[in-house]
């Protein structure tokens, strides 16, 4: 059962609705291959900063044949250097609200996931690709450079060398290659991406909120720390999470045989 999220005042290039405690945000500019103009980026920021409190996870997907063709190139030509910096910082702010927002985000990918579209996908926490998906960073051939946080978010996923190659040569990766190199962790048949993404988001929404917080906010920061600091923050985060009444109830449920076992799907 889905219902519209009405209070967010989103541009027509975005559609938001909810399935219970999972919110769905769809890029909705299929005639422009979901190219990301300023209005859409501001709308993405607004969506992730004004989610209802009872939303526990988000599915991010695209309408039409492609997830996103990246930056709306028609807005590029008029920008001065300082406007370019402000534009990049606008993207940084919006995508930061995805990665370090309140709830985990599952991106469902299909068709072109290129340039800024790939940067957007990289800000999500889990990525699901349909077999039609392909990835590219055509910035090199357009005379520009990534500006939506790709320099920071893509190397941990695929390595600096692959990102350099993609930018320099315009090389594309198929959905299968993307899965092999770590761009996605789920690969599904055409038309199955959304239901898989929703299933995962519903599972994530069932986690203890503090565990999801630790995974979103502590884990990536620990990954950037020296090991000694990382162990200290991990110990603190673990003890905080396990002290929650919710955590204690979940462990009790397992010990009293009421909770599912950790068995293969
Ligand atoms: C666009 C855009 C766009 C399509 N900005 N308008 N991104 C790119 O370099 C990718 C550019 N796009 C493409 O290579 C192709 O459009 C696709 C392979 C994604 C799809 O091809 P196709 O044949 O299905 O569609 P199309 O005919 O190319 O495009 C349909 C319309 O969308 C057309 O407009 P129309 O008015 O002529 O109908 C296109 O102009 C328009 N369109 N993509 C503007 N990107 C923060 S920095 C990030 C830097 C980057 O993202 S660089 C990568 C930019």
Measured by CA distance, the residue closest to atom 29 of ligand 1 is: 32
Q: What is the pLDDT of residue 7?
A: 60
Atom of ligand 1 nearest to the CA of 71: 51
Percent helix, strand and coil across the chain, each rounded to 5? 50, 15, 35
Phi, psi of 9 (to 5 degrees): 55, 60
Strands 2-4 and 14-19 come out as antiparallel
Give me the average pLDDT of each 10-residue run along the chain (265 residues).
70 97 98 98 97 97 98 89 95 98 98 98 98 97 95 97 97 98 98 98 96 97 96 97 91 91 88
Residues with CB under 6 A from ligand 1: 32-33, 35, 66, 69-74, 91, 112, 114-116, 138-139, 142, 144, 146-148
Q: To test ligand 1's pocket by mutation, which of 69, 74, 116, 163 has the most ligand atoms within 8 angstroms of CB? A: 69
As a whole number of angstroms, the distance between CA 100 and CA 125 comes to: 10
How confident is the model at residue 1, as a pLDDT? 61
Task: Give the pair of three-digit tokens for residue 187.
Answer: 């690969």
Cα(71) to ligand 1 centroid in Å equals 8
Instruction: Name the CA dihedral angle for 60, 62, 67, 69, rounded to a multiple of 10 degrees.
Output: -110
119 is catalytic: yes
**Whether 122 contacts 178, CB under 8 Å:** no
Alpha helices in the chain (DSSP H): 38-49, 81-99, 116-122, 139-142, 150-158, 160-169, 175-181, 193-205, 209-213, 219-223, 227-243, 245-255
Determine which one of 63, 83, 139, 176 is catalytic. Answer: 139
Give dist(CA 55, CA 73) in Å, integer: 33
Question: Of ligand 1's atoms, which has the minimum distance to the CA of residue 72?
Answer: 5
Q: Which residue, by CA, sits nearest to atom 20 of ligand 1?
A: 33
The per-residue pLDDT for 79 is 85
What distance in Å separates the CA atoms of residue 31 and residue 239, rounded to the nearest whole number? 50
Annotated catalytic residue: which of 75, 119, 234, 244? 119
Contacting residues for 221 by C-beta, under 8 A, at least 6 apart: 233
Instruction: Return the residue whose CA atom lies nearest to atom 53 of ligand 1.
Output: 115
Confidence (pLDDT) at 128:
98
């Amino acid at each position: 059962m889905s219902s519209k999220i009405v209070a967010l005042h989103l541009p027509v290039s975005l559609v938001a609705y909810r399935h219970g405690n999972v919110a769905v945000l769809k890029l909705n500019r299929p005639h422009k291959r979901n190219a990301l103009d300023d209005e859409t980026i501001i709308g993405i920021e607004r969506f992730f900063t004004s989610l209802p409190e009872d939303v526990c996870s988000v599915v991010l997907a695209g309408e039409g044949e492609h997830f996103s063709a990246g930056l709306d190139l028609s807005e590029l030509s008029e920008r001065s250097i300082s406007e370019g910096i402000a534009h990049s910082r606008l993207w940084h702010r919006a995508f930061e609200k995805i990665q370090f927002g309140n709830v985990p985000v599952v991106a469902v990918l299909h068709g072109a996931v290129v340039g800024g579209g790939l940067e957007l996908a990289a800000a999500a926490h889990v990525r699901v690709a349909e077999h039609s998906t392909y990835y590219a960073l055509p910035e090199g051939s357009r005379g520009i450079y990534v500006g939506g946080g790709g320099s920071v978010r893509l190397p941990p996923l695929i390595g600096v060398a692959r990102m350099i190659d993609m930018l320099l040569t315009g090389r594309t990766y198929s959905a299968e290659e993307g899965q092999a190199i770590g761009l996605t962790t789920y690969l599904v048949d055409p038309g199955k991406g959304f239901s898989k993404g929703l299933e995962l988001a519903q599972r994530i929404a069932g986690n203890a909120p503090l565990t999801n917080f630790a995974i979103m906010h502590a884990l990536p920061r620990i990954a950037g720390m020296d090991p000694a600091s990382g162990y200290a923050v991990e110990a603190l985060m673990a003890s905080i999470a396990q002290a929650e009444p919710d955590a204690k109830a979940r462990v009790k449920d397992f010990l009293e045989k009421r909770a599912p076992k950790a068995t293969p799907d």
